[in-house]
């Protein structure tokens, strides 16, 4: 199995990054590369994050960004919000929701990593999502093979 790379970019930057990734070239900029998963597992994380911050049922399905790359997908605003909220969400008696989401994600079928590694990925993705929340033009993108 390949990997999924999640990053913050404008639409044009995302297309350029996707082209570089598809050609095997070097890419610059902050990103989280997760080996052994696809866009499907990223969508699973969105569902788990949404449930954790009491926003279940929103649209967490990644969407094709451009016909030039079927490997480049955009993260919907609802998932960006849910991931971002994992950094600060407080719920009475529920403990650390980010840790809970990471444990649940690691426990999904065929996940190639355990809870500790999952926590690191979820933390990094939540930080990227928070960066998108602060930006007017940037979005969160997933490129997977």
73 contacts 64 by C-beta, under 8 angstroms: yes
Q: How many residues does the chain have?
A: 145
Residue written as token pair 């998108």:
132
Which range marks the domain in which residue 122 is found? Answer: 3-144
d(CA 139, CA 5): 14
Question: Tokens at residue 26, please?
Answer: 């070097």
Q: What is the pLDDT along the chain (145 residues), one digit of tens a residue?
A: 689 999 999 999 999 999 999 998 888 888 999 999 999 999 999 999 999 998 888 889 999 999 888 999 999 999 999 999 999 887 666 678 999 999 999 999 999 999 999 999 999 999 999 999 888 899 999 999 8
d(CA 104, CA 54): 15
Count the domains in the chain. 1
d(CA 61, CA 79): 8
């Amino acid at each position: 199995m390949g990997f999924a790379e999640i990053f913050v970019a404008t639409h044009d930057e995302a297309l350029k990054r996707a082209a570089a990734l598809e050609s095997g070239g070097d890419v610059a900029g902050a990103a989280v590369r997760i080996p052994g998963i696809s866009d499907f597992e990223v969508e699973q994380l969105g569902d788990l994050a949404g449930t954790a911050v009491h926003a279940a049922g929103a649209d967490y399905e990644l969407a094709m960004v451009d016909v030039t790359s079927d490997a480049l997908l955009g993260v919907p605003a609802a998932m960006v919000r849910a991931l971002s909220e994992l950094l600060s969400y407080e719920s009475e008696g529920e403990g650390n929701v980010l840790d809970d989401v990471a444990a649940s994600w690691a426990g999904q079928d065929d996940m190639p990593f355990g809870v500790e590694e999952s926590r690191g990925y979820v933390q990094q993705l939540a930080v990227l999502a928070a960066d998108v929340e602060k930006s007017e033009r940037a979005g969160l993108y997933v490129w997977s093979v």
